[in-house]
Amino acid sequence: MDMTASTASSVKFSRDGRGYEVDAVEAFRSAVVDVLARYEADLRAAVSRIEELEAELPDSTDRRIRRTRDLVESYELLFAGAESVAAAREERRMQAALQSMVSADLAAELEASRSTVQAAREDEAVDIVDHARRVATRTREMADEEGKTKAAAARTVLAEAQRIADEQTRVTTELRNASVIAEQRLDSLVRHIAREMNALQSILSVDHGEVVATPYDVGPPASTHPQDSGTSGDAEALADPFSITVDLTEAPDPERDGFYERRLSGLRRRIEAAEATES
């Protein structure tokens, strides 16, 4: 028989142009192998017997013995071919089983790897989302802290500005009050100086019983000459604290000089007392 391989997946045996499927040929050869297995002992015994006969028989029987030997060798070749076919079939079956096992293992490994990769991607996505949430939370916290800090700084600046404004207002008020007080004191001092000058001029212009009225109080007259009783009404009319009545008609010159000194001393004391009171 002539065995040819048409494709890698389909093997056909051809005889006289007719093809046979692999399964049918393998079934036939399996049957042949089974038959040969059953008659293997008989064949081996026949071969041994032929060898014995060949040793015993004369040369005239060699032709028949050779034919028998050729027949036995043909059966042996057929048996060997059947065994090789069976071994090849078993090997293919084992390879197919191994391939299926390998394919199953590869599929399981691929599925496990795919599941592992998917789980890793899901974990990574969860980590990314958690990190984004943490970043967003921290950003909001920083923004809140910055806002609180800015608000506190703004309140501090506003309070400081209010304090400065209040201080400026207070200082301005104090300056205004001080200015008013200074103006009042200056005006009072001017009036005081005017009164002093008028009093000095009045004192310096007194001479020989001349009556002088002054706006400044320089005290009672210091003359030793009493007033006439007939002029008591006039004296009461002139009892103004800011008026002076001096009669120096009969006063001697030394007493007149002492009078001026006493009047000036009293005037200076009253001016100093007035300045101390106003200050």
Average of pLDDT values for 242-268?
Answer: 55
For the ranges 161-165, 184-188, 261-265, which has the lowest average pLDDT? 261-265
Measured distance CA(5)–CA(206) in Å, rounded: 170
Amino acid letter, residue 1: M
pLDDT single digits (tens) 156-181: 888 898 999 899 898 988 888 888 88
Q: Is a pLDDT exceeding 50 seen at residue 212?
A: no
Q: What is the pLDDT of residue 78?
A: 72
Q: What is the pLDDT of residue 279?
A: 60
Q: pLDDT higher for 65 or 112? A: 112
**214 contacts 198 by C-beta, under 8 angstroms:** yes
Residues 206-209: contacts with CB under 8 Å, at least 24 apart: 206/244, 206/246, 206/248, 207/248, 208/248, 208/249, 209/246, 209/247, 209/248, 209/249
**257, two tokens:** 């000089």
pLDDT-derived band at 234, boundaries 50, 70, 90: very low
Q: What is the pLDDT of residue 25?
A: 64
Neighbour tally for 263: CB within 10 Å: 21
Q: What is the pLDDT of residue 24?
A: 66
Q: What is the pLDDT of residue 232?
A: 43
Q: pLDDT higher for 105 or 258? A: 105
Q: Is a pLDDT exceeding 80 seen at residue 9?
A: no
Q: What is the pLDDT of residue 270?
A: 74
Neighbour tally for 227: CB within 10 Å: 14
Q: pLDDT higher for 209 or 198? A: 198
Q: Is a pLDDT exceeding 70 seen at residue 229?
A: no
Q: What is the mean pLDDT of the chain?
A: 70
Q: Is a pLDDT exceeding 60 seen at residue 243?
A: no
Domain ranges (residues) in the chain: 2-119, 205-278
**106, two tokens:** 């590869």
SS (H, E, C) 238-264: CCCCCEEECCCCCCCHHHHHHHHHHHH
Q: What is the pLDDT of residue 199?
A: 74
Q: Is a pLDDT exceeding 70 seen at residue 23?
A: no
Q: Is 10 left (phi over 0), alpha (psi -120 to 50) or beta?
A: beta
Measured distance CA(80)–CA(36) in Å, rounded: 10
Q: What is the pLDDT of residue 31?
A: 75
The strands making up 11-15's β-sheet, listed across from edge to edge, are 2-5, 11-15, 18-20
Helix axes 22-38, 62-204, angle to 10 degrees: 130
Strand partners, 5: 11
Q: Is a pLDDT exceeding 70 seen at residue 17?
A: no
Average of pLDDT values for 243-259?
Answer: 50
Q: What is the pLDDT of residue 76?
A: 72
Amino acid letter, residue 34: D
Output phi, psi for 275, to 5 deg: -65, -40
**63, two tokens:** 């032709």
Q: What is the pLDDT of residue 263?
A: 65
Output phi, psi for 212, to 5 deg: -125, 130
Average of pLDDT values for 11-35?
Answer: 60
Name the 3-class secondary structure at 4: strand
Q: What is the pLDDT of residue 3?
A: 40
Average of pLDDT values for 101-116?
Answer: 83
Amino acid letter, residue 210: E
Q: Is a pLDDT exceeding 70 seen at residue 121?
A: yes
pLDDT single digits (tens) 129-139: 888 888 888 88
Average of pLDDT values for 78-90?
Answer: 74
Output phi, psi for 119, to 5 deg: -65, -40
DSSP state of 16: T
